[in-house]
Structure 1
């Protein structure tokens, strides 16, 4: 009985020691086994791992791809046109030993320290790369190649931190506020100047068209008048020829017809009064049957 009472605590202690010597490495992390602050083992594969109970400690580090947003920074390209660049990077921890040496911490604290140091690397690379090209290259489709150059430059610097820079992206590239207003003002003035030039060219073209149309109208009217005068002259000549022929065929009848025509034109409903001398030849055909 006494042996049983002593065996139970021993088993409990052994079980506690066994449990404290086992730890699990998740597939999303890597771990370091520390003994008195010194790294004695690295656990990069997921599964069960062992450590010395009460002596060894486990420092865990995230092995997933992490994201880091950079604060907006100002860069000055070759054409001295300042730009505000907003970027972010994706990275992961590939060497936990170097990472611990560089940060001197574990968990979120280590991530924060590494993030600040990675920010400095990315800022320096961004300013160096974007400062070697013009602003048009940054704002064009060539920015993809620039982002690749920034990433490649940051990879070497980040290796000393135990990090691998997976990707760098420029989210936004804008002009500073003061420069943006000035640029908009220049763009507006340029568009207004172009609009004024277009209106002036349009008015000039309209004036030419109106002048051409006016000249065409004058020419058409002149040609029409000339043709009408020719036709009127030919008609008058033909009419006179007919009158002459009629007069030559029967002189007395022609005089009678001319007198009737004169009566018709002179004596109308609104003008039936004539002042003539009694012996006027105008009424010869009214005074006698023969018109004499």
Structure 2
């Protein structure tokens, strides 16, 4: 009976000691075992772990990707147009031993403070570097800038045992006090560009107009030349026909020309002519001459 009284407490103490020496590592975390503040174990795989009861302490660290939102940062790109930006960062603890040694007991809060300082410096360095303007930050080239920030921040964060997984610039705004001045400058730039475009358009219009005028004069002169040639050929053909007709019957030809002259002279309803009755103009209106013309016409 006395033996039972001693054995039972020993068993209970032994079971309690065994249970207190076992710890469980979840798949979402990593674990450090410390003894009097010194690192004794680093457990990164899920499962059961063992420690010395009462002497060892177990500290758990997140193995999942963590997020951090940086405060608003004012940057000045190469075009001196100040912007306010803030970033969203994804990171994870890659080396828990280095993480513990660098940050001590500060843990995640201290890690966020130091990582935020690192990002602040790298965002200012990249967005304020040569060749980076506000238009670049607001363009598709923004993705390349974010990758540069991530690489620089990751190189600095390695000393803290952290990996920077991703950096995203969320908002990019103008400071309130600079908004009106920036807007006026943008308007002035657009007006200058519009003036340049109008000047180039006017110059192009003058070139087109000059070319059209030159082509017009060329075409017109060619047309006049061709018309003169055709008119000369027509006059020559007309004279040839008249000469041929005159050679066939001189008297009838003179009669025909006289009739044409009468028709031209007596056009209109109020024509008045004053001339001598024996004028040659009325030669073919005389009876004997008209008879000769009729005879000549019948003979043909």
Label 1:2 to 1:182 Cα distance change in 2 as closer, same or farther (>3 A). farther
Q: Cα offset for 1:61?
A: 0.7
Label 1:192 to 1:289 Cα distance change in 2 as closer, same or farther (>3 A). closer
State the distance in 1 between where 2:147 and 2:44 align. 35
SS of 2:130's partner is: coil
State the distance in 2 between where 1:215 and 1:145 align. 63
The yes-or-no answer on 1:246 pairing with 2:244 is no
Q: Cα offset for 1:38?
A: 3.2
Residue equivalent to 2:43:
44
Label 1:17 to 1:183 Cα distance change in 2 as closer, same or farther (>3 A). farther
User: What is the Cα-based RMSD across aligned positions, in Å?
Assistant: 4.6
State the distance in 2 between where 1:267 and 1:11 align. 156
State the distance in 1 between where 2:132 and 2:225 align. 65
SS of 1:104's partner is: helix
Unaligned stretches of 5+ residues in structure 2: 295-300
- The answer to which of 116-125 and 145-154 deviates more is 145-154
Residue equivalent to 1:104:
105
Count of aligned pairs: 278
Q: Counterparts of 1:1-292 in structure 2 under 5 Å?
A: 11-12=11-12, 14-34=14-34, 38-39=37-38, 41-46=40-45, 47-53=47-53, 56-76=56-76, 80-87=80-87, 88=89, 90-96=91-97, 98-99=99-100, 102-105=103-106, 110-128=107-125, 130-131=127-128, 133-135=130-132, 143=145, 146-147=148-149, 150-151=152-153, 153-155=155-157, 159=159, 161=160, 163-167=161-165, 169=167, 171=169, 176=174, 178=179, 181-182=183-184, 184-248=186-250, 251=251, 253-254=252-253, 281-284=283-286, 289-290=291-292
State the distance in 2 between where 1:267 and 1:98 align. 124
Q: Cα offset for 1:283?
A: 3.7
Unaligned stretches of 5+ residues in structure 1: none
Task: Check the 8 A contact 1:151/1:167 in 2, yes or no.
Answer: no
Task: Check the 8 A contact 1:75/1:131 in 2, yes or no.
Answer: yes
State the distance in 2 between where 1:149 and 1:258 align. 107
Task: Check the 8 A contact 2:90/2:166 in 1, yes or no.
Answer: yes
TM-score (norm 1): 0.68
Label 1:214 to 1:125 Cα distance change in 2 as closer, same or farther (>3 A). closer
For residues 53-112 of structure 1, what are the alpha-carbon distances to aligned partners after superposition, in whole Å with 9 as ceiling and x for unaligned? 56754321113443434334223356645454544353424134752772525xxxx323
SS of 1:133's partner is: coil
SS of 1:71's partner is: coil
